[in-house]
Chain A
Amino acid sequence: MEQLTSILSISLGAILINNFIFSQFLGCCPFLGCSSKVDTAVGMGLAVTFVMGLASAICWVVDYYVLQPLSLGFLQTLTFILVIAALVQFVEMFLKKSIPSLYSALGIYLPLITTNCAVLGVVLLNVQNNYNFIESTVYGITGGLGFLLAIVLFASVRERVEFAEYPESFEGFPICLVTASLLALAFMGFSGMKIF
């Protein structure tokens, strides 16, 4: 029961209260880069969710069974980024062979996930928060779902903003950032929410 409560509160926290983008600023590059269309945003969000869940699980195992017994904690950053890079490569190869339609839909975004700070961020946060295997995996997946929610919301707003009138200097990136700031303001409404 206790496990269930902790999983529930981790999920709620990762998706709404401490949303990776709107309250922790992790994964802003793809968030701003791949959100001009809702379709690509959904693809990117799903790919990131998948990689984040898998990376959390694998990195927890690597950390617990390899790095900690050998007291190589200082190699964490280096090891995790290598694990993530290898993982993304494998996912890419696997998708290419078995689900080519999804592979072509994701296109260039797949390799870019390696340098998404949300992925490395979630892995480092798992270690920092001392999560166990299940909690880590859940945090990874729900963090990814939070990212998906944020990027889809943002892409839908952005499609509309394109037709709006705004000062010339705000063209391109600045207006996106202002839009994102308003979304962040909306997400602030979730802060302070608690389960049980």
Chain B
Amino acid sequence: MNIKKQFRDGLITNNPVLVQLLGMCSTMAITTMLFNGIGMGISVLVILTCCNIVISAMRKVIPNDIRIAVFVVIIAGFVTIVDLLLQAYIPALSESLGVFIPLIVVNCIIIGRAEAFAAKNTIGASALDGIFQGLGYTIVLTIMCIIREFLGSGSFGKGLINTVGGVIGTGSGLQIFPEEFGAKLLTMPFGGFLTLGVLIAVMQYALRKSKEKKEKKEKEGVK
């Protein structure tokens, strides 16, 4: 199989957030610190992979007319599992993500990938698609978290670094510059919209440049 192409698709050329523009709500809402971003990214990665596998395995059994309803039930099942696991083992994460964990049910990334990929492809390919798309999502979340946390409050890795007694979520993080010098606005909703807008613009710029380069090369090849 073309694993390499799927990898590139998920991370760059068909990135779920920056190119497909799916799952914007959670991307903007929870990216205020690294701890949230990584936690959310990994939760979505796990749920997406499991759902893709199950949906792909059942794709020939599910009647076409009610497929969306079936997808939603499968997704809700996995989301509930992850929600309960987080509440039990990482309560700090569950608390700081709050309502956005159960809201993964209506995250467009999962239902979008189920509809666009898992319902048409083999189990192996769907599992890989889940992993790579999930990774693409996690990477975008991580980048946004680092930018917003650093510029907004001058720290890095709050909750993950300098933990008290090794308990995740208790760390104070690295303070790179004093908190009062940070642009507080960036940790507020305003910063979420702005950071994501700028990131997508950068992505569009990069994709356009690489396309132009390719066309130029082809032209020279023809000559």
Contact = CB atoms under 8 A, between A and B. Distances in A.
Contacts of B201: 167, 169-170, 174
B90 interface: no
A183 B190 CA distance: 8
A91 B60 CA distance: 30
A178 B24 contact: no
Interface in A69-119: 74-78, 81-82, 85, 114-117
A22 interface: yes
Interface string B49-90: 000000000000000000001001100110110011000000
Interface stretch (A24-32, A42-50, A52-60, A135-143): A24-32
B205 interface: yes
A184 B189 CA distance: 7
B208 interface: yes
Contacts of B28: 25, 28
A188 B188 contact: yes
Contacts of A182: 190
B83 A174 contact: no
A171 B204 contact: yes
Interface in A182-196: 182, 184-185, 187-188
A61 interface: no
B164 interface: no
Contacts of B103: 26, 117, 120-121, 124
Contacts of B76: 77-78, 81-82
A173 B200 contact: yes
Interface string B21-37: 10011101100000000
A29 B80 contact: no
B125 interface: no
B205 A25 contact: no
Tell me the dominant secondary structure on chain B's binding face.
Answer: helix
A57 to B, nearest CB: 19
Contact of A120 (B77, B80, B102, B190): B102
Contact of B200 (A74, A78, A177, A180): A177
Contact of A76 (B21, B102, B107, B198): B102
Contacts of B222: none
Nearest to B80: A77
Nearest to A33: B21
Interface centre among B80, B98, B103, B111 (most CB of A within 10 A): B103
A85 B69 contact: yes
B111 A115 contact: yes
B24 A169 contact: no
B102 A77 contact: yes
B91 interface: no
Given A74-B80, A85-B69, A124-B99, 12 more contacts: A23-B189, A25-B26, A25-B189, A78-B76, A78-B80, A81-B72, A117-B103, A117-B107, A173-B197, A177-B200, A182-B190, A188-B189
Q: Which 7 A-B pairs have the closest CB atoms?
A: A177-B197, A181-B193, A25-B29, A174-B201, A169-B205, A181-B194, A78-B76
Interface of B: 21, 24-26, 28-29, 69, 72-73, 76-77, 79-80, 83-84, 98-99, 102-103, 105-108, 111, 185, 188-194, 196-198, 200-202, 204-205, 208
